[in-house]
Amino acid sequence: MVKTRNALSSLITKIGARLLPVLSRWEEQGTLKKTARWTKLFVLGLVLTVAGWLRAQPEPPIATCYDMAIIDPVVVTESSITPNPTNGADSVTVNATAKVYNPGIEGNIISGADVRLVGDTLLVPLRAVDGKFSDTLEAVEGRICIGGLAAETTWVDLTFYTSQAGMFTKQLMLVVTEPDSTEKKGNAGD
């Protein structure tokens, strides 16, 4: 498009350059004296306007700036704690499935996962169900001990790591309860 505009501008400039001397000669010779002068001015103005318009570069493309959204590197698609409520159990099983949000980054895979009770410093590693962390989609499982916890609602942090230093933590609710009263009665009669 730019080449075409420049070619047309050059053509109009050449036509104007050949036409102006002819009109100037007519004006100087007295042939169509006033008409030649006004025609010359009109042609000169038209040539300059059209050539300038054609040579003008098009507007640069509009650049729109956006704030970058923070995207979690890992998306947890499924997660569960069993039993929940605990019904007096000493440990619970944590199961989860997660996938790398942007697998297009070279070699970006889920490289590990762990779980901990909120307020506790002990990280319990989770194991990959398929045996190793080697894919963009991983199912994990593990057990955590809750035997010393009082009956209450608490939270469990489930954290996944990627090979490209990404990390995502999801909190799961855990309801710690005492054993059902029917189980206590059954055990007392034994």
- pLDDT by residue for the chain (190 residues), tens digit each? 667 777 777 777 787 778 778 777 777 777 766 776 777 777 777 877 777 776 676 666 666 676 666 566 778 888 898 888 888 888 899 999 988 877 666 778 888 999 998 888 888 999 999 999 888 889 999 999 888 888 888 899 999 988 887 788 888 888 888 887 655 444 444 4
What does DSSP assign to residue 30?
A: T
SS3 5: helix
8 A C-beta contact, residue 80 and residue 95: yes
Which of these, 56, 66, 76, 60, lies nearest to 139 by C-alpha position?
Answer: 76
| pLDDT (0 to 100) of residue 8 | 76
| pLDDT (0 to 100) of residue 104 | 65
Angle 169-94-103 from CA coordinates, rounded to 5°: 45
8 A C-beta contact, residue 81 and residue 94: yes
| pLDDT (0 to 100) of residue 188 | 47
| pLDDT (0 to 100) of residue 97 | 92
Sheet-wide strand order for 110-117 = 124-125, 110-117, 152-162, 167-176
Amino acid letter, residue 171: Q
| pLDDT (0 to 100) of residue 92 | 92
